[in-house]
């Protein structure tokens, strides 16, 4: 079962300059607020896709749900 | 006419996306959402007051599988406007709060619409049509 800290590390490793705050008290539903300059100028859909892609294949499985909020600063 | 394929479910999905200017793929129905994320998305669409078609993906696991193959989006719900994927519950909620959702739907949000994305669907508000040839 992934921990919020693992989710945070994986997001920060995958997205340049990202800082993530991840919450997931039950170990299967997570919410992440991700701040990265890499989101600047990209459509919201693409920003969210950058975060979702980190967990491709796991969403709906080990990670039941990942709620995402992206910020550029 | 879309090309005939040997994948009727995928074809029905792409046709439904093409034929309905606003279509939501969700768990459950607008009257009875089966997941909180689907419920929030329905509530945002209802608060904006735009008619939308809805497809319940739960009756057959292949619907979700084929939908994700079409959209490359891993989670449910998925909202499409004019044939384009807009996103899931988080994106729709954020667009609701910024007013972009009403703009994308070509409607003016009602004056009494709440500023924050509503948390729950209003079951009294019926969608324009339930497009469910896929079940």
Residue B116 lies in a domain: no
The answer to which of A28-32, A38-42, A58-62, B4-8 has the lowest mean pLDDT is B4-8
Tens digits of residue pLDDT in A37-51:
999 999 999 999 999
**CATH number (domain holding residue B63):** 3.40.30.10
Tens digits of residue pLDDT in B64-86:
999 999 999 999 999 999 999 99
**pLDDT of B91 higher than 70:** yes
Facing residue for B74 by CB, picked from A44, A59, A69: A59
Q: Which range marks the domain in which residue B89 is found?
A: 8-103
Per-residue model confidence (pLDDT) at position B132: 53
Strand partners, B25: B55, B78
Calpha distance B104→B124 (Å, rounded): 24
- In contact, B45 and B117? CB cutoff 8 Å: no
Asked if the Cβ–Cβ distance from B91 to A59 is below 8 Å, we say no
Residue B88 lies in a domain: yes
Residue B46 lies in a domain: yes
Confirm or reject contact between A29 and chain B (CB < 8 A). no
Tokens at B24, concatenated: 């939501």
- Tell me how many domains chain B contains: 1
Residue B25 lies in a domain: yes
Note the CATH number of domain A4-71: 3.30.300.90
Confirm or reject contact between B37 and chain A (CB < 8 A). yes
pLDDT mean over B113-120: 77
Residue B135 lies in a domain: no
Tens digits of residue pLDDT in B1-51:
555 568 999 999 999 999 999 999 999 999 999 999 999 999 999 999 999
Contacts of B88 in chain A (CB under 8 A): 48
pLDDT mean over B103-119: 81
Residue B110 lies in a domain: no
- In chain A, what are the domain boundaries? 4-71
Nearest Cα neighbor of A59 from B73, B56, B41 is: B73
């Amino acid at each position: 079962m992934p921990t919020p800290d693992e989710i945070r590390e994986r997001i920060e490793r995958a997205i340049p300059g990202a800082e993530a705050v991840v919450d997931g008290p039950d170990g299967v539903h997570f919410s992440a607020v991700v701040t990265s300059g890499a989101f600047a100028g990209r459509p919201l859909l693409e920003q969210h896709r950058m975060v979702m892609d980190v967990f491709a294949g796991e969403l709906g499985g080990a990670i039941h749900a990942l709620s995402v909020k992206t910020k550029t600063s | 006419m879309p090309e005939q394929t040997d994948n009727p479910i995928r074809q029905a999905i792409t046709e439904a996306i093409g034929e309905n200017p606003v279509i939501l793929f969700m768990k459950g129905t607008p009257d009875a959402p089966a997941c909180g994320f689907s419920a929030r998305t329905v509530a945002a669409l209802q608060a904006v007051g735009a008619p939308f078609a809805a497809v319940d993906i739960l009756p057959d696991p292949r619907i979700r599988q084929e939908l994700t193959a079409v959209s490359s989006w891993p989670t449910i719900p998925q909202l499409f406007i004019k044939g384009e994927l807009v996103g899931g519950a988080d994106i729709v909620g954020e667009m609701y709060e910024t007013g972009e959702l009403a703009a994308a739907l070509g409607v003016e949000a009602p004056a009494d619409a709440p500023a924050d994305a509503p948390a729950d669907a209003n079951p009294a508000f019926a969608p324009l049509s339930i497009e469910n040839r896929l079940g």
